[in-house]
Amino acid sequence: MTTETDQCPRCEGTLDSEYYGPCRSCRDDLRASLGSEQSVIATTEFEPKMNVTPNAVATKD
């Protein structure tokens, strides 16, 4: 596993990490300011739209 010394793109401080990105303190700040708790979305039961009457082919003359 190789680590490189880069600059944090947000605060321009030095960081040692395997991947390029914000440092740990910047990530924590971003999670605190932009992150939010997941919310449950209420959904209704699916009801198909009836454009065609059932058995329309069978009743065709």
pTM of the complete model: 0.48
Residue boundaries of the structural domains of the chain: 1-61
Tens-place pLDDT, residues 2-61:
556 788 888 888 887 788 888 888 888 988 888 777 788 888 888 777 676 666 666 665
The pLDDT, as a whole number, for residue 10 is 87
Beta bridge partners of 15: 6
Contact 27, 13 (CB under 8 A): no
Neighbours of 15 (CB within 10 A): 20
